[in-house]
A and B are shown apart, each in its own frame.
Chain A
Amino acid sequence: DSGVTQTPKHLITATGQRVTLRCSPRSGDLSVYWYQQSLDQGLQFLIQYYNGEERAKGNILERFSAQQFPDLHSELNLSSLELGDSALYFCASSPAVRDTQYFGPGTRLTVL
């Protein structure tokens, strides 16, 4: 157990819908990262927040957005969902900006 928690574990929804994935970092970690793992794209970095501010952006679609709240938990919002958005979404956290990242158990999103 890495100390990073993610909810829900599984999410099944329909195309066109919007979902929110939640992540709570390890105690004391200020930085949160989101990754997408799919069969065709592998593990891809989406976005990073540090202490509430966006720090780095990767291959994140415009339909996706994220934020980090004052209590340091983070949410990833996925809208206008498409079949291709079906994937495992991982959250990771680290104490600061350049430290080792520890991963949560992931949320498996299935878009039907």
Chain B
Amino acid sequence: AQSVSQHNHHVILSEAASLELGCNYSYGGTVNLFWYVQYPGQHLQLLLKYFSGDPLVKGIKGFEAEFIKSKFSFNLRKPSVQWSDTAEYFCAVSPGGGGNKLTFGTGTQLKVEL
């Protein structure tokens, strides 16, 4: 069975600081990887995804993530955060070979202070 670990549960940053949120997964085969964001009171929105190809993936709003297969990791990064990035971030994985069940991490609550 797949599992996803997000090590940082709460992160507080000042505006313009750099962000890196950790995500590690456990699965024996190929995987599809996702980062979703949930702004306060809103639904989950896709930030970026990795299916195959270039392991450095660029998403919306200046976010990027790097798939490191040897480390089973898919960390999310942003060079300079804004107050509007305050939200909860979820890493998710689905089997690459078949099915589409998403397994989510527990989420990281990011607060960006002015």
Q: Are B46 and A33 in contact, with the CB atoms below 8 A?
A: no
A residues with a Cβ closer than 8 A to B are 2, 31, 33, 35, 42-45, 48, 55-56, 58, 90, 92, 94, 97-106
Q: What does the 1/0 interface line of B83-105 toward A look like (CB < 8 Å)? A: 00000001010100011111111
Interface size on B, residues (CB 8 A): 22
Residues in A with CB closer than 8 Å to B70 are none
B97: nearest residue on chain A (CB-CB)?
A: A98
Q: A102-B46, A106-B43 are in contact. Are A94 and B104 (CB under 8 A)?
A: no
Residues in B with CB closer than 8 Å to A58 are 101
Tell me the complex Cα distance, A48–B98, Å: 13
Say what secondary structure dominates the interface of chain A.
strand
Residues in A with CB closer than 8 Å to B102 are 33, 35, 45, 92, 101
Asked if B25 is at the interface of the complex by the 8 Å CB criterion, the answer is no
Residues in A with CB closer than 8 Å to B107 are 42-43
Residues in B with CB closer than 8 Å to A97 are 99-100
8 Å CB contact of A99 from B44, B100, B101, B106: B100
Tell me the complex Cα distance, A92–B101, Å: 11
Q: Are A45 and B101 in contact, with the CB atoms below 8 A?
A: yes
> What would be 5 A-B contacts, judged by CB atoms less than 8 Å apart?
A31-B100, A42-B107, A43-B92, A56-B101, A58-B101
Q: A42-B106, A42-B107 are in contact. Are A2 and B101 (CB under 8 A)?
A: no
Asked if B67 is at the interface of the complex by the 8 Å CB criterion, the answer is no
8 Å CB contact of A100 from B46, B98, B99: B46
Q: Are B100 and A56 in contact, with the CB atoms below 8 A?
A: yes
A105, chain B: closest CB distance, angstroms = 4
Q: Are B104 and A101 in contact, with the CB atoms below 8 A?
A: no
